[in-house]
Structure 1
């Protein structure tokens, strides 16, 4: 069995790799690559799919959504395959932190919703699918991305327990808290009735 030091080194390695994967700013790169402009000067200034959609390119927004989700999922799946469940959950957490606070962008990243969903799908796919359906249902009814995000995040720990994945409860709870913190201003606008709807510039 590996000793405590080697186990700690392995976890640290996957924490770093998860962060690096999560910190790839796909939205920014896609927008620049397609000549859509600098996302920092568009809409909310965010680097996520919702703000990419404000450029008018649904394809770019969809690609950003898929890639941001994929980087979270890949971090979890690679860590689980090579180092086990604990490393997988840690890599998922740091991938989320990497997306929200990328060192390459002065720690000014996205809000992590797509990455959160990708992590949930990789950690416990039944709960991940339930979170995605919760997002879709809320977005379809309210047409407000931030409301869908915080609703999906809030539901994650419930789905994890109900669908038999309680070992990931702590990760789900921490990610939910982080999603809420990243959406503080959105919550204020929701209360004021001024939060923009999906696709609104």
Structure 2
């Protein structure tokens, strides 16, 4: 049952919400804007309604995986299922292993694991995006802040370790954005 739950979580994570929203409008979102299937690119190219749906869908995948793991095996399995959903979103089976940058799916995972920490990171994301105009910078800062929130809120050590792994993946997925931020060529939300 453990292996099945992790595999199902990966497959849930692999559902390319942004891509499917684009296809419903006759658009391959991977051929527009940044080429990413995530919320920001969907919002910019398909509009705010589609962007919100992509955000909700991607976050929902992460939350569903955590709940699946919790139901079938408790804390250890919920972490494995959450990571599987993140991996599925980032490297989806259905799109040749080329997916999103894990921020929305990670939000869903952390809403299931540690809601207060997730909301603090989301608040930080909002502040950074409003102050800087860069969604990518807000995403990086929010992801990197998760281990801090886990410490401040006295979450279990395994949640802290998990948040470190997710932060590393998030930074890795944002390397092109980091390069553009440093070069001054990153697109602002405004």
TM-score (norm 2): 0.96
Contact 1:42 1:54 in 2 (8 A): no
| Cα distance, 1:160 vs structure 2 | 0.7
Task: Tell me the equivalent position of 2:135.
Answer: 145
Task: Tell me the equivalent position of 1:185.
Answer: 176
Pairing 1:103–2:85 present: no
Task: Tell me the equivalent position of 1:83.
Answer: 73
Question: Who wins on radius of gyration, i.e. which is larger?
Answer: 1
Distance 1:56 1:17, change over 3 A: closer
Task: Tell me the equivalent position of 1:52.
Answer: 42
Pairing 1:62–2:30 present: no
Which of 141, 146, 153 is the aligned partner of 1:163? 153
Contact 1:52 1:61 in 2 (8 A): yes
- The secondary structure found in structure 2 opposite 1:97 is helix
| Cα distance, 1:36 vs structure 2 | 5.7
- The secondary structure found in structure 1 opposite 2:37 is coil
| Paired positions, count | 189
Cα deviation, 1:16-43, whole Å, max 9, x if unaligned, reads 111011000000111221x161101100
Say what the alpha-carbon RMSD is for the aligned residues: 1.1
Pairing 1:196–2:152 present: no
> For 2:62 and 2:82, how far apart are their aligned partners in 1?
6
Contact 2:5 2:72 in 1 (8 A): no
Give the gaps of 5 or more residues in structure 1: 1-9
Contact 2:2 2:72 in 1 (8 A): no
Pairing 1:133–2:123 present: yes
Task: Tell me the equivalent position of 2:29.
Answer: 39
Task: Tell me the equivalent position of 2:15.
Answer: 24
Contact 2:58 2:104 in 1 (8 A): yes
Contact 2:22 2:46 in 1 (8 A): no
